[in-house]
């Protein structure tokens, strides 16, 4: 028979501290979970805020890029209009010049010039010039196309003028749309706000930008119109052929012949001259092209005068009976000189037809163009043509176009320094972007209605908002100057500081800080 040891009561006794660590573990786990959820919420909110700010910056910058592109488009079209106006002036000049050459060529058989062919020493060169078909071919080829070419250029100029306005209007209308589209491409759940900020700031900014530039007249008496005309007629725009075509034509249009034996009569009875003779002949040409006082006509006038002399070396003798009695010695005597007499003339006009009615035209035409290249000081050439008028117009709608776009006050804007804000950047654009709290993935989204953990992740008006601002500004620095936004940095190669304008395409965009007023308007949206 086996015996079991008695069970001690102590062995059945429960340890009162057993399991106490579990409580602390559960409390710590709950706290850690709460902290983790708080960190998750904070991270999601911060990440969403960063994404929203990037979207806002992209939207504002895109809008300012549109602004800069519109200014640059106006600058390029202004330049194109100027270039085409210069081309019109060149065509008008060429038409007048070729007409003058053709008229001179035709008059070589006329009363004043044709007699030169009678002189043996003149005949070879004179006959060659008279029979040369070059000028007739040039005139036949150019005359039919001159008018249509000028009219086509004028239409293109007016098309550029219309394109400026269409592009500006489209930019004004598209800035908000493009900005919103860029925002959505960067954050599909974001959009432009439509509250106090949009009404009180964005609309005002768009109106300010629209008013920063203006459509100016190009052909009235205003200083803004003179500004455009000055660029067109400048010696840096037009060439010397357009401004002043005065010249003495070289060979073969002018010549001096070799000495040849011939006989001519001195004119006195009984006096005969044994001679060797030579001839010379030359042309003087004058011409120039003006912009008229009212800026609505291009006027060209050309004239050529020709003349020359023949000379004899002779021996004087008398005939006494059947004998020749020589008296004197061989001497030189220029016994013929036609002077300069009218050769030919040419004229042309683009704009309203009629008489020339002006000798100097627009007040700021280059001095060299006065009196049509100075030719009216050499009568009777240009004076004769001036009285005849320029002939039929190449285009009744010629002259400078009606309008061009530039900054609103191109002649009075003189900033103290060349900061971006003072050089076009004052008309910046500011936007407010928002995203609803429901679109942000926080703890409450995957623990809805939890009675265990409560996290306050609500936003003001249940919406997250942020702002961004950008500006388009004009900047043209010297090539070798790397300094930033200072008067020195804005100096051109000629040492002059160029102010914001729409004649040069140096507009660019950048992000800028928001103003306190804009922050206040955004805060008003959050408190509503």
Element (H, E) at 376: none
> Comparing C-alpha atoms, which of 377, 325, 306 is closest to residue 100?
306
Residue 157 CA, distance from chain mean position: 12
Q: What total number of domains does the chain contain?
A: 1
Positive or negative: CA dihedral 314, 320, 322, 326:
negative
CA distances from 7 to 2, 12, 13, 14 (A): 15, 9, 12, 15
| CB of 361 closer than 8 Å to CB of 178 | no
Rounded to whole angstroms, the Cα distance separating 205 from 208 reads 5
Rounded to whole angstroms, the Cα distance separating 85 from 491 reads 29
Q: Does residue 229 belong to any structural domain of this protein?
A: no
Q: Does residue 244 belong to any structural domain of this protein?
A: yes
Q: Does residue 465 belong to any structural domain of this protein?
A: no
Rounded to whole angstroms, the Cα distance separating 225 from 452 reads 77
Domain of residue 122 covers: 72-178+236-406
Mind listing the pLDDT tens digit of every residue in the chain (528 residues)?
A: 455 555 555 554 555 655 566 666 766 776 776 677 677 677 777 888 899 999 999 999 999 999 999 999 999 999 999 999 999 999 999 999 999 888 888 876 665 555 555 555 555 666 666 777 888 899 999 999 999 999 999 999 999 999 999 999 999 999 999 999 999 999 999 998 887 777 778 888 899 999 999 999 999 999 999 999 999 999 999 999 999 998 866 655 555 555 555 545 444 444 554 455 666 667 788 899 999 999 999 999 998 877 766 665 555 555 555 554 444 443 444 444 445 565 688 999 999 999 999 999 999 999 999 999 887 776 555 677 888 899 999 999 999 999 999 999 888 766 666 678 878 888 889 988 988 877 777 666 555 554 444 555 566 667 888 889 999 998 876 544 445 555 455 555 666 667 889 999 999 999 998 776 666 666 655 655
Q: Among all chains, which residue has been given the structure tokens 């969403």?
A: 48
Q: Identify the pLDDT of residue 449.
A: 54
Rounded to whole angstroms, the Cα distance separating 92 from 419 reads 44
Q: Does residue 390 belong to any structural domain of this protein?
A: yes
Longest CA pairwise span in the chain (Å): 207
| CB of 97 closer than 8 Å to CB of 346 | yes
Positive or negative: CA dihedral 287, 288, 289, 293:
negative
Q: Does residue 339 belong to any structural domain of this protein?
A: yes
Rounded to whole angstroms, the Cα distance separating 266 from 282 reads 25
> Phi and psi (nearest 5°) for 276?
-120, 135
Q: Does residue 320 belong to any structural domain of this protein?
A: yes
Rounded to whole angstroms, the Cα distance separating 327 from 368 reads 55
CA distances from 407 to 64, 402, 473 (A): 17, 17, 12
Q: Does residue 432 belong to any structural domain of this protein?
A: no
> Phi and psi (nearest 5°) for 186?
-85, -30
> Comparing C-alpha atoms, which of 325, 318, 305 is closest to residue 376?
305
Q: Does residue 256 belong to any structural domain of this protein?
A: yes
Burial of 279 (0-12, 13-18, 19+ CB in 10 A): buried
Q: Identify the pLDDT of residue 85.
A: 98
Give the E-state strand segments of 117-246 in sequence order.
191-192, 213-217
Q: What is the pTM of this model?
A: 0.79
Q: Identify the pLDDT of residue 345.
A: 87
Burial of 438 (0-12, 13-18, 19+ CB in 10 A): exposed
Rounded to whole angstroms, the Cα distance separating 63 from 183 reads 11
Q: Identify the pLDDT of residue 515.
A: 72
Alpha helix ranges (H) inside 191-262:
196-197, 203-212, 223-233, 240-243
Q: Identify the pLDDT of residue 332.
A: 40
Rounded to whole angstroms, the Cα distance separating 106 from 80 reads 39
| CB of 287 closer than 8 Å to CB of 302 | yes
Rounded to whole angstroms, the Cα distance separating 324 from 329 reads 14
What is the rounded end-to-end Cα distance, in angstroms, of the chain?
A: 94
């Amino acid at each position: 028979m086996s015996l079991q040891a008695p069970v001690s009561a102590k062995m059945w006794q429960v340890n009162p501290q057993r399991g106490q660590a579990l409580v602390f573990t559960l409390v710590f786990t709950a706290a850690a979970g709460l902290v983790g959820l708080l960190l998750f919420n904070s991270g999601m909110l911060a990440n969403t805020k960063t994404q929203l700010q990037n979207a806002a910056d992209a939207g504002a910058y895109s809008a300012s890029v549109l602004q800069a592109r519109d200014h640059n488009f106006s600058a390029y079209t202004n330049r194109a209009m100027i270039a085409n106006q210069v081309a019109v002036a060149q065509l008008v000049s060429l038409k007048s010049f070729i007409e003058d050459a053709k008229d001179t060529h035709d008059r070589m058989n006329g009363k004043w010039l044709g007699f030169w062919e009678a002189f043996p020493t003149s005949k070879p060169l004179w006959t060659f010039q008279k029979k040369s078909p070059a000028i007739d071919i040039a005139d036949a080829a150019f005359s039919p196309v001159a008018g249509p070419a000028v009219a086509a250029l004028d239409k293109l100029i007016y098309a550029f003028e219309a394109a400026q306005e269409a592009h500006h209007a489209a930019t004004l209308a598209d800035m908000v749309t493009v900005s919103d589209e860029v925002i959505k491409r960067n954050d599909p759940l974001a959009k432009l706000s439509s509250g106090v900020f949009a009404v009180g700031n964005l609309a005002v900014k768009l109106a300010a930008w629209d008013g920063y530039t203006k459509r100016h007249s190009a052909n009235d008496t205003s200083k803004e119109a003179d500004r455009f005309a000055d660029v067109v007629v400048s010696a840096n725009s037009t060439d010397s052929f357009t401004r002043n075509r005065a010249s003495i034509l070289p060979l073969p249009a002018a010549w001096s012949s070799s000495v040849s034996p011939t006989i001519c009569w001195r004119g006195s009875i009984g006096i005969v001259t044994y001679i060797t003779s030579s001839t010379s002949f030359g042309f003087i040409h004058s011409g120039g092209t003006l912009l008229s006082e009212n800026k609505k006509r291009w006027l060209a006038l050309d004239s050529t005068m020709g003349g020359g002399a023949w000379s004899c070396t002779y021996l004087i003798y008398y005939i006494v009976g059947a004998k020749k009695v020589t008296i004197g010695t061989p001497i030189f005597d220029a016994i013929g000189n036609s002077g300069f007499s009218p050769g030919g003339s040419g004229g042309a006009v683009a704009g309203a037809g009629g008489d020339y009615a002006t000798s100097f035209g627009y007040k700021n035409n280059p001095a060299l163009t006065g009196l049509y290249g100075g030719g009216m000081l050499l009568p009777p050439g240009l004076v004769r043509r001036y009285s005849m008028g320029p002939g039929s117009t190449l285009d009744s709608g010629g002259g400078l176009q009606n309008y061009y776009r530039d900054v609103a006050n191109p002649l009075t804007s003189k900033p103290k320094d060349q900061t971006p804000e003072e050089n076009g950047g004052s008309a910046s654009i500011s936007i407010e972007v928002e995203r609803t709290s429901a679109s942000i993935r926080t703890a409450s989204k995957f623990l809805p209605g939890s009675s265990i953990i409560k996290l306050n992740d609500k936003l003001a008006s249940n919406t997250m908002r942020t702002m961004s601002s950008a500006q388009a500004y004009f900047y043209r620095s010297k090539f070798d100057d790397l300094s930033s936004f200072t008067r020195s940095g804005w100096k051109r190669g000629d040492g002059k500081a160029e102010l914001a304008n729409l004649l040069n395409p140096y507009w660019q965009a950048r992000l800028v800080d928001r103003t306190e007023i804009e922050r206040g308007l955004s805060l008003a949206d959050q408190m509503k």
